[in-house]
Amino acid sequence: MTSPERCRIAYLVSKYPDFSHTFILREVLSLRNHGMDIEVASINEAPPPEKLTQVERDEALRTFYVKRRGVAGALGAAMWALLHRPAGLVRGLGYALRLGRGDIRRSLLCVFYFVEALILAKWLSERAISHLHVHFATPAATVAMILTHVSPVEMSMTVHGPDEFYDVSNYYLSEKIRTSKFVVCISFFAQSQLMKLSPGSEWNKFDVVRLGVDSSQFAPRGRKAAEEPIQVLCVGRLVSAKGQRILIEAVDRLKRGGHRLELQLVGDGVDRSDLERLVVVRGLTDVVRFVGAVNQDEIRTYYQRADIFALASFAEGIPVVLMEAMAMEIPCVATRITGIPELIEDGVSGLLVSPSDVEGMAAAMLRLMESAELRESLGKAGRQRVQQDYELAVSADRLAEVFHRRLGKAK
């Protein structure tokens, strides 16, 4: 009797490993520990090795980088397709051009996606891998969708949101749902948005699998002695969707009210110079510090110093940084948006405020600043919440079950 085939797949990520998406690396390593054979392809290069942890450097060495193949790689993939997938070559190019919808710029972009799909098709064929899983329904998923027209490869994807939900047409989200064998949603909110975009006949493709963190790696730092100024931490890319401007304005109000606090902004992005100017204009250079992007070995140092963790985001999936802070029993203030209320119960495991509400953010932070007891109770409840529903081992086990069931492979 022949034994069932082992589950062997490839992951496709826009940039891997990366500071902003360390949860993907954790997920891949956890699934491999579950016995799955996973290879990873990344469209873009990883950050420089000196900025990565040792684990990230090791993973980068075994990752296939699409753009690294350059013109020679693209020509080689085209020749391979011409010899081994001639019908797929024509079909894939035609499909890419149809995605362009007659717009010259969009069509040119889709042709580039087609070339990347050829490079990936050759790589997958050489490894005898027939299933490709993509994180985020963004351009990498567009490449995967084109790839399914070139080679006999199935795709699936993990959808986070919310960017894809705001620009459904340009992200081809409905088309990606139809093309995917199945879709993993990180929250019920994400699943609801996909249900809105698809007929009921497609809903059986959806599985809700939460992201997770290893609570043993993000353990409580022990009771922190009451000190002033209160240390507030925010971790995230410095982009408009993260709402750091609201957080800075809230800190400004608290400072002008005579309250002592410091804000650490960990992360980098296109809004950094504008935010730095705002800090200067508001006279907050002694209160707000821009740390820049840090890796996972460094980030724990900032968590350990924090009294409060704050996110003023306008758009999120469910931020893993919130899970990390909660696992370390740091009381969290976040906005009441998208999937965040699935993680934080207001007044029980954290505090929730309305997005763009400067006064609400300042008031919530002040509540925590003035009550060590509240900080402690929310911190402990936050860790319990993470351990209950957002533990990495449990999430990885659930995801592995989805892959095995959907792909009909041995566990």
What three-state secondary structure class fits 288? strand
Q: What is the rounded distance in angstroms from the CA atom of residue 32 to the CA atom of residue 18? A: 19
Per-residue pLDDT at 2: 35
Low-confidence ranges of the chain (pLDDT < 70): 1-5, 223-227, 409-411
Q: How confident is the model at residue 139, as a pLDDT?
A: 96
The angle subtended at Cα 314 by Cα 27 and Cα 385, nearest 5°, is 45
Please identify which residue in the block is written with the tokens 């040119």.
108
What pLDDT does residue 186 have? 97
User: What b/e sequence results for 225-238 when a residue is b if at least 16 CB atoms lie within 10 Å of its CB, and e otherwise?
Assistant: eeeeebbbbbbbbb
Pairing mode of beta strands 37-44, 64-65: parallel
Rounded distance between C-alpha atoms, residue 98 and residue 223, angstroms: 59
Output the CA angle 228-234-239, nearest 5 degrees.
145
Q: Is the dihedral of CA 250, 251, 252, 255 positive or negative?
A: positive
Report pLDDT for 3: 38
Question: What is the per-residue pLDDT for 359?
Answer: 98
Give residue for tokens 């957080």: 247
Domain spanning 230-389, CATH class: alpha beta
DSSP-derived pairing of the beta strands 64-65 and 131-135? unpaired
CATH class of 8-212+392-407: alpha beta
The Cα 44–Cα 155 span in angstroms is 20
pLDDT in tens, 198-247: 999 999 999 999 999 999 999 997 766 556 799 999 999 999 999 999 99
Query: Can you give the residue ranges of every domain in the chain?
Result: 8-212+392-407, 230-389
C-beta of residue 308 within 8 angstroms of C-beta of residue 330: yes
**What pLDDT shows up at residue 133?**
98
List all residues 6 or more positions away from 279 whose beta carbon is below 8 Å from its beta carbon: 248, 285, 288
To 5 degrees, how large is the angle CA 264–CA 388–CA 338? 55
What is the pLDDT, as a whole number, of residue 4? 45
Task: Give the pLDDT score at 225.
Answer: 59
User: How confident is the model at residue 5, as a pLDDT?
Assistant: 63
User: Measured between alpha carbons, how far is 208 from 183 in angstroms, rounded to an integer?
Assistant: 9
Token digits of residue 167: 């620009």
Please indicate, yes or no, whether the overall pTM of this predicted structure exceeds 0.85: yes
Evaluate whether 8-212+392-407 and 230-389 have a shared fold.
Answer: yes
